[in-house]
Amino acid sequence: MKVLLADDEKSIRLTLGDDLEAAGHEVTVVDDGREASRHVEQERFDVLISDIKMPGVTGIELLEKTKQISAGTEVILITGFGTVESAVEAMKLGAYDYILKPFLNEKIIALLEKIDRLQRLTEENVRLKEELRDRYGFDQLIGKSKKMLDIFHLIETLRDNDSYILIQGETGTGKELIAQAVYRNSRRKDKPLVILSCSQFPETLLEDELFGHEKGAFTDARDRKVGRFERAQGGTLFLDDIDDMTLPTQVKLLRILQEKKFERLGGEETVSLDIRVISATKADLEEAVAEGTFREDLFYRLNVLRIALPPLRDRPEDIPLLAAHFIKIYGGGRDYRIPPAVLEAMINYPWPGNVRELENAIERSIALAGRARNLKKEHIIRSSTTQSRTVAHLKDLRPLKEVVGESEMMHIKNVLKHTRGQKGKAAEILGISRKNLWEKMREYEVE
């Protein structure tokens, strides 16, 4: 990296300068603030290392000037007269770190290694931002991870295919965007795309939305209503949250998909259908079939082709791209920047709300940024008990038998503690026989 070292103490200039060069950095060494200021005006440095108290221009003044000229230059301030106030002021003005004398040169070198790694992340973010549309964009979809590139390729492969598609993914992963991309790249793109969320309507209203009704079909049916199936004629019907559809409605949907015709509610006229159906689920439909909450025959009818949309935590390399995309949407033309340390925290965060949570976080951080161009970590990643519970839930995925056994063991221990080890009384409280208690104590190794 290109480093500017400014210190009026000769021993630091010599020893630190030599060690930085030995570590592979290109180092410019000056002995006062004015000289350092001239270099900042004329050249672009990756890192400025500056003493705070220097003749002519102080390190704090140099920090301010450097950030005005080159916001991407990281600044490390060193001083022998450290106070809490000066440290706080330095960090508020954008200093990367604040080092007190005396210090080990190895500490500075380690900081530069970290800055180098984070700056590479930022540079990649900028590069990806420039290539966002041409190289890593697919309609409204953003991603460069292998999982997303495979999905883009699959969508292109299906361009001339009319088979039904099931999109599976967690809430917030962008299932509707996938459906729209499939539609726009299909031979039915000039016909309607009709969208219906099965979770938004109770059973009776959902059937009315799907099939429509004739005038007089029920008390408030004053006119004929054309349902979503009919509105999608020749085009594509997207059924979101298909896992929320009740079993009786599933039966009717299956019949229509098999026969490709239906009647409006209260009507006798048969309407023939020529549509493609894309459905989406946030749940594992195979598990729902096993549990009896989703019809197996309907599952196979919808699941001709499947697109498995990965959660954001499984494609962290897409986070810089997505963040840049949302900054472009919500930034109002301003060039907001995500500092390297914040970007690293974003990549390490599990994003339980997926892309939707990231989008909301970027919108929030821009709204709270004020006049600042650097977006703050606390505005992007908010700690909360809900998030903690979600993250814990994602990690604590164990068999039910194991969880139940652990709970049973703890309850037995608590009852035995309450009865001071009297097993007969404990068995009575637990509602089991003394023999059964002995067996469970032996199974769980409870003394």
CATH architecture for the domain at 400-444: Orthogonal Bundle (1.10)
Percentage of the chain lying above the pLDDT 70 cut: 89
pLDDT of residue 220: 75
Residue 30 pLDDT > 50: yes
Equal fold, 136-308 vs 400-444: no
312-395: CATH number: 1.10.8.60
pLDDT of residue 386: 41
pLDDT of residue 151: 92
pLDDT of residue 406: 78
136-308: CATH number: 3.40.50.300
Q: Taking residues 148-177, what's their average pLDDT?
A: 92
Per-residue confidence band for 384, with pLDDT thresholds at 50, 70 and 90: very low
Residue 95 pLDDT > 80: yes
| Per-residue b or e along 58-86, where b marks 16 or more CB atoms closer than 10 Å to that residue's CB | bbbbbbebbbeeeeebbbbbbbeebeeeb
pTM reported for the whole predicted model:
0.59
Give residue-wise pLDDT tens across range 335-380: 899 988 898 899 999 999 999 999 999 999 999 998 888 999 999 9
pLDDT of residue 87: 67
Q: Which of 18-27, 135-144, 187-196, 216-225 has the lowest mean pLDDT?
A: 135-144
Q: Taking residues 89-109, what's their average pLDDT?
A: 86
Backbone angles phi, psi at 97, to 5 degrees: -155, 170
Residue 144 pLDDT > 80: yes
pLDDT of residue 133: 45
pLDDT of residue 131: 53
pLDDT of residue 2: 93
Q: Which of 15-29, 136-150, 226-240 has the lowest mean pLDDT?
A: 136-150
pLDDT of residue 239: 96
Q: Taking residues 154-180, what's their average pLDDT?
A: 92
Backbone angles phi, psi at 139, to 5 degrees: 55, -120
Helical segments of 294-353, H only: 296-302, 319-330, 340-348
pLDDT of residue 389: 47
> The domain 2-117 is classified under which CATH number: 3.30.300.30, 2.160.10.10, 3.40.50.2300, 3.40.50.720?
3.40.50.2300
Domain ranges of the chain: 2-117, 136-308, 312-395, 400-444
29, amino acid identity: V
How far, in Å, are 10, 40, 50, 79 from residue 29 at the CA level? 10, 12, 10, 17
Cα–Cα distance measured from residue 205 to residue 202, given in angstroms and rounded to the nearest whole number: 6
